Chains A and B, each alone.
Chain A
């Protein structure tokens, strides 16, 4: 990442996280989500036999979500599931930020959203009707529902936010990029407020089948389907696809403190790197570089970091490489550093994963408790860090934490945040 030069030529401004919103396989609402993580609940489940019987990999992490509970029927027909998730999460985040626009600024507030696949459900349904059913009756709003920037656009329309409206798509790091890019604009003085995060709704037959073909999906645990995602374990077998959204409100520190906002945490650093090596196989160098750049941008030493929310997909390739990358960056500190993968509980939300896990990291800092890596019963000798296996851990002195998001395509992101009492 190039050095960020503030517009005023002076120091970077501090950035506060003042709002959180979550739609997740562990429930709707940031508090419900984090409580589920701390209790070690799993949102992973097996699809009923009658749903898509041709699917072989049947474990997924769906959201229990009824669109009609949030939108009227006419409105709902304009919104793919991915936009529904995004709007509900953004609404919670803006509400959570409390009187966010009382002093104005709607005309400059930006919206930064990450998504890997946009309106996948609409695309899937359109193809089914067109190719499988040989119908010429494609729904008239298919284009508007499926386009990748629909979620971001609806957030701006619903909340009248006239600043930059940008959608990022870098596969599994999309929403971490969105949060980092929003942070940059606030830190540099370009914006005062941003809604940032990601949304993904990929649990369609076509998408699941495509992932199945890639041979990266977890094998179902024969005793307990909800335990199928086993990051860093010897018996890990792949990722579990999930769906949902997470949004945060980012605000310049001065603005947040001036309006006496409740601040969840401070977003202090953003590191971005690219593997430029292989389209899927992760690289130790690339991942390490993202972490180093995040530490550098926040002027934080490895010894100061008290928790890493890992990318931890539970694929054979990622977990060993990420472990090695953490060791490279943190050196001797890696041994005592708690690292956990919450994907063991909420699955892999692809483009929304980075934002959901950033929310988990912020909540870990705020609540001083580290969520566990569940289903890590059989350790892998190659993965020999402290993964906070099975049970959440109180962390009274936790002040700085990192959230990692890596991706097919090689766009690596690390975000750093800090507790507000410092």
Chain B
């Protein structure tokens, strides 16, 4: 996992600390979101903010996101998918 200042983990940590009032010292890759006070409803708002921060779009069913680590992986995957060259579109008639 990329733990540099501008890495996914640190950016997520800043959002959780600033916008969700989570103490930074308990935000670790293995921490469960519910143990940080982020319940299933709050996760939806976290995702909304992450979409703005990383310019990504989570699918309607974002899959298993119970830990900080799983959230970081999901973000990295979506960012990578977005950067990948898109499939050639059919030319308009």
Residue A51 lies at the interface, judged by CB distance under 8 Å to chain B = no
Tell me the bound Cα distance from A139 to B47 in angstroms.
11
Tell me the bound Cα distance from A73 to B42 in angstroms.
13
Interface membership of chain A positions 56-92, coded 1 if the CB is closer than 8 angstroms to chain B and 0 otherwise: 0000000000000000111001000000000000000
CB-defined contacts of B42 to chain A, threshold 8 Å:
74
- Number of residue pairs across A and B with beta carbons under 8 Å? 19
In the complex, which of the residues B21, B44, B47, B48 contacts A74, with contact meaning CB atoms closer than 8 Å?
B21
In the complex, which of the residues A72, A137, A140 contacts B45, with contact meaning CB atoms closer than 8 Å?
A140
CB distance from B55 to the nearest CB of A (A): 12
| B48–A73 CB distance below 8 A | no
| A141–B45 CB distance below 8 A | yes
| B48–A139 CB distance below 8 A | yes
Of all chain B residues, which has the CB nearest A144? B41
Tell me the bound Cα distance from A74 to B47 in angstroms.
14
**CB-contacts of A105-150 with B (<8 A):** 137, 139-141
CB-defined contacts of B52 to chain A, threshold 8 Å:
137
Interface membership of chain A positions 29-73, coded 1 if the CB is closer than 8 angstroms to chain B and 0 otherwise: 000000000000000000000000000000000000000000011
In the complex, which of the residues B45, B47, B51 contacts A77, with contact meaning CB atoms closer than 8 Å?
B45
**CB-contacts of B32-72 with A (<8 A):** 41-42, 44-45, 47-48, 51-52
CB distance from B71 to the nearest CB of A (A): 16
Tell me the bound Cα distance from A140 to B41 in angstroms.
9
Tell me the bound Cα distance from A226 to B74 in angstroms.
55
Residue among A73, A74, A141 having the largest count of chain B Cβ atoms under 10 Å: A74
CB-defined contacts of A77 to chain B, threshold 8 Å:
45
CB distance from B14 to the nearest CB of A (A): 14
Of all chain A residues, which has the CB nearest B51? A137
CB-defined contacts of B19 to chain A, threshold 8 Å:
73-74
CB distance from A137 to the nearest CB of B (A): 8
Tell me the bound Cα distance from A141 to B49 in angstroms.
12
| A140–B21 CB distance below 8 A | no
In the complex, which of the residues A73, A137, A140 contacts B44, with contact meaning CB atoms closer than 8 Å?
A140
Of all chain B residues, which has the CB nearest A77? B45
Complex A-B: 15 CB contacts under 8 Å: A72-B21, A73-B21, A74-B19, A74-B20, A74-B21, A77-B45, A137-B48, A137-B51, A137-B52, A139-B48, A140-B47, A140-B48, A141-B41, A141-B44, A141-B45
Residues of A within 8 A of B (CB): 72-74, 77, 137, 139-141
List the 5 closest pairs (A to B, CB-CB), nearest first.
Answer: A140-B44, A140-B48, A74-B21, A74-B20, A140-B45
